[in-house]
Chains A and B, each alone.
Chain A
Amino acid sequence: MAEALLDIEDLSVFYGPFRAVQGVSLKVGAGEVVSIIGANGAGKSSLMKAIIGQAGRTEGRIGFLGEDISTRPTAEIVRAGIALVPEGRRLFPSLTVAENLTIGWEVGRRGEIGFDEVYELFPVLAERSGQLVRSLSGGQQQMVALGRGLLANPRLLLCDEISLGLAPVVIADLYRIIPAIRDRGIGIVIVEQDITRSLAVADRFYCLLEGRVNLSGRPAETSRDEVARHYFGM
């Protein structure tokens, strides 16, 4: 593995007395695509929220570029180089495409990704930059959400369920850009319920069950059967 960008050690996330994530350790390197799979309620989204600083109470260490960021506010974490593409897209509906993208640019760190790069990845957004995002299709909205994340010039991009509710042809179009992002040296974490899709692009994966990692490895070296058994906890 390349030099570790994200180094999580023994992380737990609490909601009141409930422990949604229980002692998870994982690493993501620069230019590496890591897939996190698991059934509904396995703790995937809680893990994402913890990394970005929106999870409430956590225990353990979230190392990013060698520093513990687990107690930092989200705005600082984003400026340090982590961006989240949240589940359900979560765009700002009364803002235009360009304004939504601008928000990403403003909150992030300065870097080489600008509007031109995003419009090159998603040409349709250039055509619709002046439109309100609520007038776009679901797939185009997801492109805006990805673009907003990329414009923050992250070193690590967290993608939470980016294929949810989209047609297969649209999903394929979105996943097409993952290698292009990785080739820029950006680490990518993909959280998906669609195992096939996310394992196909991942260098490594972690499988979560009830808040714990119960399997990790490289997709190429792990049988589908073994993944399925751990996914369902059998």
Chain B
Amino acid sequence: MGELPNQIVQGVLVGGLYAMYAMGLSLSVGVMRFVNIAHGDLIVLISFLILTLIHATGMGALPATLIALPIAFAGGYLLQRFLLQRVLGKGVLPIILVTFGLSIIIQNGLLGVFGADTRRVSGGGIETATLKIGGGINVGVLPLVIFLGAIAMVMALDWLLYRTRLGARIRAVSDDPATANLVGLPSARVYATAMGIVGVTIAISAGFMSIWTNFDPTAGPSRLLIAFEAVVLGGLGSLWGTLVGGIIIGVAQALGAQIDVGWQLLAGHIAFLVIFLARPEGLFPKY
């Protein structure tokens, strides 16, 4: 059996990680209607938090990530309440500038504290475990877990947004913050909660990323780029679309790597550009 099916399977699984990066961004773009330039840096920041927890206490990657979840929720809540909310609704530019500034602060803060070295977190063996699924295809256990995790994340967020009262509140504020305020639903508090949820998705993807790939303080922007491409490909506001977008980029990269290793990243961007030209609104737009 050829290499091709194997590469496609690996690409699909990588797409799961990309979709995880993108899920929080998909929420902030699709629901709160702003682009968070610091999204990738926040993932890296939480990765360093997990790394620090592991080094300081000797705990495993899983408990460290679980500890990071409530911290990331609180961080997202406070970030929205006391910084992002101040510039929201004042045009597109201020929020981009503020999150761009935040990105620079996080990168330089991490460089100052941790240095420029490339890091990785040990997953206790899961990162090297593989499953043979026949046909010459081997599937890494970790990528498979991440892929299933991404699907679970989409289902959980979909349920939260469309099946719960909190979700209805978030969508109401997303529809019209001024009306929400007028009828007694404080939009700032609802958005802060939404950003807390974004923080949780960031912590989960940071936990997986820190085991699967190397990271350093300046790794954020490249994560943001891929996340952004996945969100746009999938269509604004569609979480399932974001998952599909991540998979498309993952598969394109895997196929590009077949031609030449140097083509790996480029192929992902080319696939994005081609689909973007054909369908600027994305594959499954909600708006």
**Which residues of A come within 8 Å of B, CB atoms?**
52, 54, 73-75, 77-79, 83-84, 86, 90-95, 99-100, 102-104, 106-108, 148-149, 152
From B172, B174, B181, B186, contact of A103 by CB (8 A): B172
The binding surface of chain B is classed by DSSP as helix
Evaluate contact between A83 and B175: CB separation under 8 angstroms: no
When A92-B176, A103-B172 are in contact, do A83 and B183 touch as well, CB less than 8 Å? Answer: yes
When A92-B171, A95-B168, A106-B165 are in contact, do A78 and B176 touch as well, CB less than 8 Å? Answer: no
Evaluate contact between B185 and A90: CB separation under 8 angstroms: no
Known: A52-B184, A74-B184, A94-B174. 18 other contacts (CB 8 A): A54-B182, A73-B186, A74-B181, A86-B179, A90-B176, A90-B179, A90-B182, A92-B171, A92-B172, A92-B179, A93-B176, A99-B172, A103-B169, A103-B185, A104-B183, A106-B165, A107-B183, A107-B185
Evaluate contact between B184 and A102: CB separation under 8 angstroms: no
Across-interface contacts of A78 in B (CB, < 8 A): 183-184
> Which single residue of chain A is at the shortest CB-CB distance from B186?
A75
From A90, A99, A107, contact of B184 by CB (8 A): A107
> Which single residue of chain B is at the shortest CB-CB distance from A76?
B184
Evaluate contact between A95 and B175: CB separation under 8 angstroms: yes
Size category of the binding interface on chain B: 10 to 19
Evaluate contact between A92 and B175: CB separation under 8 angstroms: yes
**Which residues of B come within 8 Å of A, CB atoms?**
165, 168-169, 171-172, 174-176, 179-186
Closest 9 CB pairs of A and B: A78-B184, A107-B184, A90-B179, A92-B175, A92-B172, A99-B168, A75-B184, A75-B186, A107-B185
Evaluate contact between B184 and A77: CB separation under 8 angstroms: yes
Across-interface contacts of B165 in A (CB, < 8 A): 102, 106
> Which single residue of chain B is at the shortest CB-CB distance from A106?
B165
B174 to chain A, nearest CB (A): 8
Across-interface contacts of A104 in B (CB, < 8 A): 183
Across-interface contacts of B181 in A (CB, < 8 A): 54, 74
Q: How far is the CA of A92 from the CA of B183 in the complex (A)?
A: 11
Across-interface contacts of A83 in B (CB, < 8 A): 183-184
Q: How far is the CA of A106 from the CA of B184 in the complex (A)?
A: 9
Evaluate contact between A106 and B169: CB separation under 8 angstroms: yes
> Which single residue of chain B is at the shortest CB-CB distance from A98?
B168
When A92-B176, A93-B175, A94-B175 are in contact, do A86 and B169 touch as well, CB less than 8 Å? Answer: no
Q: Which of A75, A77, A92, A108 has the most CB of B within 10 A?
A: A92
Evaluate contact between B175 and A152: CB separation under 8 angstroms: no
Query: What would 30 A/B residue contacts be, using CB atoms closer than 8 Å?
Result: A52-B182, A52-B184, A54-B182, A73-B186, A74-B182, A75-B184, A75-B186, A77-B184, A78-B183, A79-B184, A83-B183, A83-B184, A84-B183, A90-B176, A91-B179, A92-B175, A92-B179, A94-B174, A94-B175, A95-B168, A95-B171, A99-B168, A99-B171, A100-B172, A103-B168, A103-B169, A103-B172, A107-B185, A149-B183, A152-B184
> Which single residue of chain A is at the shortest CB-CB distance from B172?
A92
Across-interface contacts of B171 in A (CB, < 8 A): 92, 94-95, 99
Across-interface contacts of B176 in A (CB, < 8 A): 90, 92-93
Across-interface contacts of B172 in A (CB, < 8 A): 92, 95, 99-100, 103
Q: How far is the CA of A94 from the CA of B179 in the complex (A)?
A: 13
Q: Which of B165, B171, B179, B184 has the most CB of A within 10 A?
A: B184
Evaluate contact between B175 and A108: CB separation under 8 angstroms: no
A114 to chain B, nearest CB (A): 15
Q: How far is the CA of A52 from the CA of B171 in the complex (A)?
A: 23
Across-interface contacts of B184 in A (CB, < 8 A): 52, 74-75, 77-79, 83, 107-108, 152
Evaluate contact between A103 and B175: CB separation under 8 angstroms: no
Across-interface contacts of B169 in A (CB, < 8 A): 103, 106
> Which single residue of chain B is at the shortest CB-CB distance from A99?
B168
From B174, B175, B183, contact of A148 by CB (8 A): B183
Q: How far is the CA of A77 from the CA of B181 in the complex (A)?
A: 11
From A73, A102, A108, contact of B168 by CB (8 A): A102
> Which single residue of chain B is at the shortest CB-CB distance from A160?
B182
Q: Which of B171, B172, B174 has the most CB of A within 10 A?
A: B172
Q: How far is the CA of A78 from the CA of B186 in the complex (A)?
A: 11
